Structure 1
């Protein structure tokens, strides 16, 4: 049986008609669905490029194909691409198979309107919260409150009428976007951690200066890079030296590099851009003393779990499922540079024994997200979707 997955991710297609991703969702990711379904069709935005960059990975392969919707960024380009998008979706009507929406997102809603899978016959994987995405500070624009209200209402509708629902959190997203009374529901992350992704340490030593690490795409402001840079400025004003590495590129990278210069902290931060190699990501995590997640919006942050799996001290903002991962004294309000600085200082000021105990506590907590455990719940949802009337 065929599965159709609608996702908001933007992919790239080169002149050879191969489809690529700059970071997430390579071909290996989609194999989890083929454990139950015979073929998979991805429906997503695709941008045309002359050739892929060296670190990009292919998306499609045996059993996995892609239907390319017009690539767009922002509301103006979305409106221009809308007629062609609707035309492509109309051709998907009356196709045999099952539908799964990775939500939130406008494409899943358009697909639901045009292709019209009946109530209770589709599944959703809830991987984020539009209430956080369109919160004040996380996005801008005069229509932000309206967009927030519309997207949260759409997500509630999709969850309420789906036959099967998965959430990346254990409880947080379920409370805001509950499933229908008759729906099958479960929880699992998109993360894929195997034995080599875990590392338990026997000692914990802080470098001089302490090495901080952030991982987040810089295409949108909700990763909180500005908050992190403002926290660095506060460190500098108190004559405390730390060094930050930010992994993740995007259209706003040059803006944040200029902001670092303006704040006088450019010498304290290194912007690495995108890093696609998993082994290299593990090396960067291992080399840091403290992993920091200053986001304004998350579902269940995979990078935070990856850092926990490597026995790193972690600090994060109060977003999404973060309280399900870290103790309250390692969580700060979003958009609070001073609070973020104090929380980082508290982690670095612990004794070596306290740091080791906390780091290995993170390691133990991350065991719950080993792929062998998550895949069991994923497969259960896939089987439920396949059997829906």
Structure 2
């Protein structure tokens, strides 16, 4: 297990006590034997919380916390932010078993606080934001995904599909009562989950890129599409890596030189390996595993010809933006915020390996189209330069600071026409 950074005190669990802001997240954290907390998810590591900690030294993170997972040498520190642990669960069955304890714990941690900020969607954010709205408490939300799309993708089984519409109603009500809201998309999530007219809204990606993540220009040569890459978790199948394997299988006879790298891991990795074997492309699919090093990820992207994001649901995908910043020609599906990043000619519907394979062949057969895709990708990624994101984030932090300074103010004054 990688220890917490030497120059930062380890995070500590807090049994009680107040703070100006508590950040409720669906991240899964794990205890370190020596104290402190780690995560296996790069987007939930220290960098995600540092801006809040820098502004509020006593900010607190509220998340489910499990025991240390042995053998995870690549676990990442969440940094020196105080953590209030919630009951740990993974998957619908464990959530159902832990639900009474989870509801009690979330409600308890919404008290004795100036401001609660909930990252939506997710059970923790839903419980906390609904309780705050019912109690007339001000709260903030970060809208990072669409629960309807997530549940309809099948990640929670048939029961989740049946509950999708109801979760959409809950999400709209939760967002509608927020005092301030942050959306990661320019318009997609706003259409489905609008804030009230009185709500202060902020739009910026939660993707935190460095200047080193950008190439100086798009790719100058007309690329030959031979090496595909996809990045995403295998904890669920909503990243569509199974469809990508099937697409490569459809192309194995006509494009024998085609290779695919899958970056990511999770409980469905074995299933994906089995699918590659059954499809006859076991020798053409490389399972890279989880990559936490930005340098290593850049190397993988720079040696790939086409980035594929065949997702069944998305917010605004970090992995796609990272690839576009390197000038990698990119394709995706018509879900979530992906159409905000890619033009229609580089998109296919989800759950359609045949059309995905057809799009790959179009780029493989037309180097000019591949070069144009690189230009489109790189130009679009410029919107996510660090200085522009910093400006937008600063306005969001200022809005949160204003709310924390007001203390416990009834939310009714900010309901508007939600």
> Which TM-score band (shorter chain)?
over 0.9
Structure 1 residues 386, 226: closer, same or farther in 2, change over 3 A?
same
Give the direction of change, closer, same or farther, for the CA distance of 1:118–1:372 in structure 2 (3 Å limit): farther
3-state DSSP of counterpart to 2:277: helix
2:295 and 2:255 map into 1 onto residues whose CA distance is 34
Deviations 1:83-130, CA, capped at 9 Å, x for gaps: 332443344253132111110011112223556685572111111111
Q: Secondary structure at the match of 1:33?
A: helix
1:337 aligns with 2:348: no
Deviations 1:251-289 (A, max 9, x none): 000011011111111111011111111111111111100
- C-alpha change, 1:361 and 1:93, in structure 2 (3 Å) is closer
In structure 2, what is the Cα distance between the partners aligned to 1:275 and 1:28? Answer: 16
Quote the Cα distance in structure 2 between the aligned partners of 1:384 and 1:52. Answer: 41
Shift of the 274–50 alpha-carbon distance from structure 1 to 2, 3 Å rule, reads: closer
Report deviation, 1:202.
5.0
Shift of 1:239: 4.6
What residue is the counterpart of 1:70 in the other structure? 87
Decide which of 15, 31, 36 is 2:50's aligned counterpart: 31
Question: Residues 274-293 of structure 1: matches in 2 within 5 Å?
Answer: 274-293=290-309
Q: Tell me: CA distance 1:349–1:120, structure 2 relative to 1, closer, same or farther (3 Å).
A: farther
After TM superposition, give the deviation of residue 296 of structure 1 in Å: 0.3
1:101 counterpart residue number: 118
State the partner residue of 1:310: 326
Closer, same or farther: CA 259–378 of 1 in aligned 2, 3 Å? same
Structure 1 gaps of 5+ residues are none
Taking a change above 3 Å as real, the CA distance of residues 116 and 222 of structure 1, as seen in their structure-2 partners, is: same
Which residue in 2 is equivalent to 1:300?
A: 316
Q: Kindly indicate whether residue 396 of structure 2 is the aligned counterpart of residue 377 of structure 1.
A: no
Task: Quote the residue 1:13 is aligned against.
Answer: 31
Structure 2 distance, partners of 1:154, 1:360, is: 40
Q: Is the 8 A contact 1:6 1:107 kept in 2?
A: yes
2:77 counterpart of 1:58: yes
Question: Matches of 2:33 and 2:189 in 1, distance apart?
Answer: 40
- More displaced, 311-320 or 82-91? 82-91
Distance 2:156 2:72 in 1: 31
1:365 maps to 2:380 = yes
Which residue does the alignment assign to 2:191?
A: 175
Higher mean alpha-carbon deviation, 302-311 vs 33-42, is at: 33-42
Q: Could you tell me how far 1:19 is from its partner in structure 2?
A: 0.9
Question: 1:32-76: per-residue Cα shift (whole Å, max 9, x none)?
Answer: 223533332111111202656222210031xx1111112111222
The counterpart of 1:112, out of the listed 129, 137, 147, is 129
For 2:219 and 2:71, how far apart are their aligned partners in 1?
41
Q: Is the 2:110–2:116 contact (alpha carbons within 8 Å) kept by the matching residues of 1?
A: no
Deviates more, 1:181-190 or 1:7-16: 7-16
Residue 180 (structure 2) pairs with residue 161 (structure 1): no
1:193 and 1:239, CA in 2 relative to 1: closer, same or farther beyond 3 A? closer
Moved more, 290-299 or 112-121: 112-121
Structure 1 residues 15 and 117, CA gap change in structure 2 (3 angstroms) = farther
Match of 2:63 among 35, 44, 64: 44
- For 1:116-155, list aligned pairs within 5 A: 119=136, 121-135=138-152, 137-139=153-155, 141-155=157-171
Q: Deviations over 1:152-171 (max 9, x none)?
A: 11110111110111111111
1:214 counterpart = 2:233: no
Separation (CA, whole Å) in 1 of partners of 2:319 and 2:251: 24
Unaligned runs of 5+ residues in structure 2 are: 1-18, 404-408, 410-418
SS across alignment from 1:80: helix
- Number of aligned positions between the proteins: 384
TM-aligned CA distance change 1:301 to 1:132, over 3 Å: same
**CA spacing shift, 1:115–1:239, aligned 2, 3 Å:** closer
Could you say which residue in structure 2 is the equivalent of 1:386? Answer: 401
CA–CA separation in structure 1 for the residues paired with 2:41 and 2:70: 16
Please, what is the CA RMSD of the aligned residues? 2.0
Query: Does the CA-based 8 Å contact 1:235-1:341 persist in structure 2?
Result: yes
Q: What are the superposed Cα offsets for residues 326-360 of structure 1, whole Å, 9 maximum, x if unpaired? A: 111000000111110111111222235x5334313
CA distance in 1, matches of 2:361, 2:318: 24
User: Measured at CA, do residues 79 and 8 of structure 1 come closer, stay the same or move farther in structure 2, by a change above 3 Å?
Assistant: same
Distance 1:46 1:385 in 2: 26
User: Greater CA deviation, 78-87 or 231-240?
Assistant: 78-87
